[in-house]
């Protein structure tokens, strides 16, 4: 080897970014492999146990309706938006504001990775959804809820469920 021929290797991206991207992809793959599609009543019981019945004035039926129209009750649902953001999990929470994906310049108001929202146990998802609902728009923050649930009789969403 000639003297002076060795030079430090230049990375196309900083190593920390590469590791973050890799961790995010792996986490997403692992989480989506464990995705779960809840039944209507099963989800109603889980969300009731997390205290969503009556939270900020919204009924359990509001939350069930939202989950159905957002993701079809699928915890592993991920939708990619044209602006590069993603909607993740059973409530399709967006990475533009609420969770962290690969873009380090987002507010991440829920203080979690978007891949955390794909977990079938729903704890992180419910914590983030509660934070979103504290926003002045409440459940109106979700287009799916505004278009399909708001102002409608939602009693059928929990009818027959043993709550």
Which residue range is the domain that position 117 belongs to?
40-157
Distance, CA of 106 to CA of 85 (rounded, Å): 10
Q: Which of 101, 62, 51 is nearest to 81 (CA)?
A: 101
Q: Which strand (E) or helix (H) includes residue 69?
A: helix 60-71
Flag whether 47 is in a domain: yes
Flag whether 8 is in a domain: no
For all residues of the chain together, what is the average pLDDT? Answer: 87
Cβ distance 120 to 146 under 8 Å?
A: no
Give the DSSP per-residue string, 119-143: -TT-HHHHHHHHHHHTSTTGGGGSH
Flag whether 16 is in a domain: no
Flag whether 147 is in a domain: yes
Structurally, the chain folds into a number of domains equal to 1
Burial of 154 (0-12, 13-18, 19+ CB in 10 A): buried
Flag whether 108 is in a domain: yes
pLDDT tens digit sequence for 19-43 = 444 445 544 444 445 899 999 999 9
Flag whether 71 is in a domain: yes
Flag whether 27 is in a domain: no
Q: Which of 146, 112, 105, 141 is nearest to 128 (CA)?
A: 112
The CATH number linked to 104 is 1.10.530.10
pTM score: 0.80
Flag whether 20 is in a domain: no
pLDDT at 59 over 50: yes
Where does the pLDDT of residue 87 fall: very low under 50, low under 70, confident under 90, or very high at 90 and above?
A: very high
pLDDT tens digit sequence for 114-127 = 999 999 999 999 99
């Amino acid at each position: 080897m000639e003297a002076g021929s060795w030079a430090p290797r230049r990375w196309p991206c900083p190593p920390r970014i590469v590791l973050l991207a890799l961790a995010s992809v792996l986490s997403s793959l692992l989480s989506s492999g464990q995705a779960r599609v809840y039944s209507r009543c099963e989800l109603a019981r889980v969300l009731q146990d997390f205290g969503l019945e009556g939270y900020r004035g919204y009924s359990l039926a509001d939350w069930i309706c939202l989950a159905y129209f957002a993701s079809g009750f699928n915890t592993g649902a991920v939708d990619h938006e044209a602006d590069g953001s993603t909607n993740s999990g059973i409530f399709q929470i967006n990475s533009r504001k609420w969770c962290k994906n690969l873009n380090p310049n987002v507010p991440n108001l829920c203080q979690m990775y978007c891949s955390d929202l794909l977990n079938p146990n729903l704890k992180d998802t419910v914590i983030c959804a509660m934070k979103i609902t504290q926003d002045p728009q409440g459940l109106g923050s979700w287009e799916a809820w505004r278009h399909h649930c708001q102002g409608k009789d939602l009693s059928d969403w929990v009818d027959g469920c043993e709550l």
